[in-house]
């Protein structure tokens, strides 16, 4: 059994893992500028250097979320998606690259369905409750479980065991990690988030999304992602197995946090909100399936991409 102290040095080496393409660092730096300072042509150029990122941008731009626009160029994909959405795609592609295919305990498609589902639910919920930055909510939803990838890489066998135990017992994965590893993907994800210099808000989500009560920063964002994660796991966008849990939204501490920050929520009919999210779930599942549906080999590869 590993302890967090033992895996810490391993996690730190992920920060300099050479598989991160050279294009990514300048791209992230450009994308994190103020919107009015971003050089659009530079973004198009940097994305065109990386066929995986470019292909994922095209897939997303052509998904039902953006109206299946038959987008064929990187430039029009970026225009359709918006710069903020590009940052989320770039970071998720980078994260995907840290996991060698043979190390996955849960299917990579299952993981990304859950992450994208959570991103979409988070951004939808953000708009419904009046949270001011739905793109930030999307990014936080997409990356909240990145510690699962860290555990998959740095303690592969022990994490696989946790995942099997959780699946067989219909238990929550983070509780099995706590019991068998002594830490969960919240802590290991937090370490990688620090290493990759994520914002403090994003780190707070990654570290506290299963236990939002003590979130030291960004309590509303952490609460929002906590609830989106629960809703996804309850509605077939979880980790690929049934989890025995019931959720009463109004009884969740995270909901109380949101009501505290957005008092108007106290007047909201919770049954109606749940129905709205349920209705969105159908659309979200369609988007997730469109993005992760296996592509015919050779489609959207580097040879087909044009700026």
Q: How far is the CB of 184 from Fe ion (least distance, A)?
A: 8
Which C-beta is closer to Fe ion: that of 83 or that of 280?
280
Token code pair at residue 149: 């990838």
If the CB atoms of residues 31 and 255 are measured against Fe ion, the closer one turns out to be: 255
Distance between CA atoms of residues 164 and 167, nearest Å = 5
Q: Which of 17, 54, 32 is nearest to 307 (CA)?
A: 54
Stretch that binds Fe ion, among 155-163, 164-172, 194-202, 221-229 (CB under 5 A): 221-229
Specify the residue, 158 or 177, whose C-beta has the smaller distance to Fe ion. 177
- Does residue 145 bind Fe ion (CB under 5 A)? yes
CA-only gyration radius of the chain, Å:
19
Helix axes 173-180, 156-169, angle to 10 degrees: 130
Cβ closer to Fe ion: 71 or 123?
Answer: 123
Contact, 59 vs 79, CB < 8 A?
no
Return the closest-CA partner of residue 150 out of 179, 192, 115. Answer: 192
Q: Give 220 or 238: the residue with its C-beta nearer to Fe ion.
A: 238
The site string for Fe ion over 167-186 (x = CB under 5 A, - otherwise) reads --------------------
Minimum distance from residue 82 beta carbon to Fe ion (Å): 24
Contacts of 14 (CB under 8 A, 6+ apart): 98, 150, 153, 154, 192, 195
For residue 158, state whether it binds Fe ion (rule: CB under 5 A): no
Asked if 229 touches Fe ion (CB under 5 A), the answer is yes
Question: Which residues of this protein are in contact with Fe ion, per CB under 5 A?
Answer: 145, 229
């Amino acid at each position: 059994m590993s302890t967090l102290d033992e895996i810490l040095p391993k996690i730190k080496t992920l920060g300099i893992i050479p598989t991160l393409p050279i294009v990514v660092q300048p791209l992230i730096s450009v994308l994190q500028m103020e919107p009015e300072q971003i050089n659009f042509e530079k973004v198009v150029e940097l994305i065109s250097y990386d066929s995986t990122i470019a292909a994922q941008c095209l897939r997303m731009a052509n998904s039902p979320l953006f109206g299946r626009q038959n987008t064929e160029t990187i430039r029009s994909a970026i225009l359709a998606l918006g710069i903020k959405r590009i940052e989320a795609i770039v970071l998720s592609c980078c994260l995907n690259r840290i996991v060698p295919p043979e190390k996955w305990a849960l299917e990579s498609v299952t993981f990304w369905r859950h992450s994208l589902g959570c991103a979409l639910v988070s951004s939808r919920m953000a708009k419904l409750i009046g949270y001011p930055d739905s793109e930030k909510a999307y990014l936080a939803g997409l990356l909240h479980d990145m510690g699962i990838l860290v555990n998959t890489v740095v303690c592969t066998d022990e994490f696989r065991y946790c995942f099997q135990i959780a699946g067989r017992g219909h238990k929550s994965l983070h509780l099995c990690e706590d019991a068998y590893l002594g830490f969960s993907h919240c802590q290991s994800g937090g370490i990688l988030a620090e290493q990759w210099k994520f914002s403090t808000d994003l780190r707070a989500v990654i570290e506290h999304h299963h236990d939002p009560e003590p979130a030291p920063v960004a309590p509303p964002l952490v609460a929002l992602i906590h609830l989106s994660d629960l809703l996804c796991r309850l509605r077939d966008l979880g980790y690929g197995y049934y989890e025995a849990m019931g959720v009463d939204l109004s009884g969740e501490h995270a909901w109380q946090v949101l009501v505290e920050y957005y008092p108007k929520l106290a007047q909201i009919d919770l049954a109606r909100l749940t129905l709205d999210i349920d209705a969105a779930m159908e659309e979200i599942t369609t988007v997730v399936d469109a993005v992760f549906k296996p592509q015919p080999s050779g489609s959207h590869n580097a040879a087909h991409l044009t700026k």
